[in-house]
Structure 1
């Protein structure tokens, strides 16, 4: 199955040089690269291949698109290499990152070097071209901190905010930044550098602060990609550990909708430069961990063993993105409902990620 994004603004733009996708072998990066390549846009994929399994995504892109895609094994911490890559591209999607809060707590210096210093390297390389090279940066809802001051009502299967406006629309960009955990700090620093390079140096740049994205080509683990992780464990009958009480709420967004937002942002970069936008599934795709697990059990046709552990540092009881700013600026809307999207991902994972051939015959029942 191929992820095709909604048609993006500027998709018919003629690019003289390739578009760079840094972190292009990762989950979102390879889907974004595939979307661009499918429209005949040459793409330079840069990735250090540090995450286990991402070579599969690289090989998939190469097999599908041949010479239209160029791959370079490069680390964002390598200033010279990043400069060489950006010297001859027309635009940059920067998705390379250390993505796990847990890892940042163990190796905070490495987390900073990749997320903060690596982003600064990308921005400096774009500035050094002397051209108006757009930079679209993948940020995170973690820049808003743990949201400890947002009063919650605890229901049977979820948390909901006491404030009615937050229940109706979610968290918007007027929310003050409150970096929490080394990961939140490093991504928050990068987020702010991207916005300031637009102001201070005129680099056309914008930030998308993502909620939970899921879909094909995701490598789900306990630390990152939890929707795919839950599905993979359920498909093979393994137990799942929930950190906290499972009533945490997230607005999950299918990757095809996320790719649509990234491409819309590039198409309108000169109108939105210097701005940050929340990107998530919104209130219509808000789901608690408990509810998602209940639906997964229905999809796979059997119960899943669940154990509970202590809350993780900085975990937000509730985050739902208010995407009205993005909708107004770009005309973007999420289109894939969370139930349909999770069911599609379950089928994709059963076909492409399970190593036991017999397990691929497990029936997705809904």
Structure 2
């Protein structure tokens, strides 16, 4: 198989660690629908992921193989990777809050688990494509960036950053144990490309949302907000709710992952920011206002202290990924959030009439100077 042109004519499986999770199950579904075999490697430790796995099995039958194991199980992981034609590494401890409580476990999963996978691929002695799911937390809390408040959102004073977002040239600055463990894994993947020729690339993700997301307060916050709003429960905002994120529909994230694999020969050894970009930037308050408009009622909100490592503003400059992978237009965030609301309501058997036409206050943007 050419590294630059993945083909389903090679019947070896694609390995997805964390393949029963939110992004992993969407990625697996796309690959299986395109005719690839998929091996899902997942400890099934996150509540609800069994439903994702059952959904995949029902849709695709024998073309999906499941290995229920922990990423820290080095021998089992090596067996799962032994014949994979490509690997997408999404298995991780994903919550900053959990890393503050159990930093050793956080590092063992994110740091040692990633090293286990890299060593398994290095020992194969052949170029196995690897795409790693990193995070925007590798850039720290961005405390040195000057912000102003415009309406319900923080925006940077620098016109270039307002127009394009945070680029890959931004210095790395790991905050919290989670930031350190994911940042270390990020750098190990890039170094294995340099030192051992592993065809690997890194995608530093902003906030991904969409169908099959089991949102909680600590991770998957867009779905968590929607679930709370749909069920009439209050949402707690940490800080003042004017912090801004660029949110990206999972279907667009999957396209980026597949693009990285398709062009791994050209992009190996590189890291790319992956997010919704400035056109999909929204503050927490603006998002909740839109949810209230969808539901036709106000969403109850409470406030608590800022959490460690929280960024007032993060919007990814996605131009490098778009150019490298040939990505098309992203799904607009209002459309994507409305679709997710409908899916969540259906999953919970809630009979709701959602107003797809409602818009919150638009996010303020400035042209680059």
TM range (shorter): over 0.9
Counterpart in the other structure of 2:353: 363
Counterpart in the other structure of 2:248: 253
Which of 74, 77, 80 is residue 79 of structure 1 equivalent to? Answer: 74
- Distance in 1 (CA, whole Å) between partners of 2:5 and 2:45 is 32
- Distance in 2 (CA, whole Å) between partners of 1:290 and 1:15 is 48
Counterpart in the other structure of 2:217: 222
Tell me by how many angstroms 1:214 deviates: 0.1
- The question of 1:148 aligning with 2:133 is answered no
Q: Secondary structure at the match of 2:187?
A: helix
8 Å CA contact retained: 2:248, 2:330: no
Describe the superposition over 1:54-83 as per-residue Cα deviations: whole angstroms up to 9, x where unpaired.
000010000000000000101110000010
Matched residue count:
353
Tell me by how many angstroms 1:331 deviates: 1.1
Q: Secondary structure at the match of 1:96?
A: coil
Matches within 5 A, 1:17-166: 17-166=12-161
Tell me by how many angstroms 1:300 deviates: 1.2
Tell me by how many angstroms 1:334 deviates: 4.0
- Distance in 2 (CA, whole Å) between partners of 1:12 and 1:136 is 16
- Distance in 1 (CA, whole Å) between partners of 2:315 and 2:287 is 15
Tell me by how many angstroms 1:220 deviates: 0.6
Counterpart in the other structure of 2:289: 294
Describe the superposition over 1:288-329 as per-residue Cα deviations: whole angstroms up to 9, x where unpaired.
001100000011111111001000100000000001111121
Which of 279, 304, 308 is residue 303 of structure 2 equivalent to? Answer: 308
- Distance in 1 (CA, whole Å) between partners of 2:76 and 2:122 is 15
**Any unmatched runs of 5+ in structure 1?**
1-8
8 Å CA contact retained: 1:136, 1:208: yes
Tell me by how many angstroms 1:16 deviates: 3.6
Counterpart in the other structure of 2:228: 233
- The question of 1:273 aligning with 2:268 is answered yes
Q: Secondary structure at the match of 2:55?
A: helix
Tell me by how many angstroms 1:13 deviates: 5.1
8 Å CA contact retained: 1:253, 1:334: no
8 Å CA contact retained: 2:118, 2:192: yes
- The question of 1:284 aligning with 2:274 is answered no
8 Å CA contact retained: 1:22, 1:29: yes
Tell me by how many angstroms 1:12 deviates: 4.3
- Distance in 1 (CA, whole Å) between partners of 2:61 and 2:156 is 49
Superposition CA RMSD, Å: 1.0
- Distance in 2 (CA, whole Å) between partners of 1:14 and 1:113 is 36
Counterpart in the other structure of 2:182: 187
**Any unmatched runs of 5+ in structure 2?**
357-369
Tell me by how many angstroms 1:125 deviates: 0.6
8 Å CA contact retained: 2:6, 2:261: no
Tell me by how many angstroms 1:10 deviates: 3.7
- Distance in 2 (CA, whole Å) between partners of 1:306 and 1:11 is 47
Describe the superposition over 1:228-272 as per-residue Cα deviations: whole angstroms up to 9, x where unpaired.
001001001111100010100000000000000000000000110
8 Å CA contact retained: 1:30, 1:61: yes
Which of 300, 312, 317 is residue 322 of structure 1 equivalent to? Answer: 317
- Distance in 1 (CA, whole Å) between partners of 2:12 and 2:128 is 11
Give the TM-score normalised by structure 2: 0.94
8 Å CA contact retained: 1:141, 1:209: yes
Tell me by how many angstroms 1:14 deviates: 2.9
8 Å CA contact retained: 1:82, 1:121: yes
Counterpart in the other structure of 1:199: 194
8 Å CA contact retained: 2:77, 2:120: yes
8 Å CA contact retained: 1:134, 1:205: yes
Tell me by how many angstroms 1:164 deviates: 0.5
Counterpart in the other structure of 2:203: 208
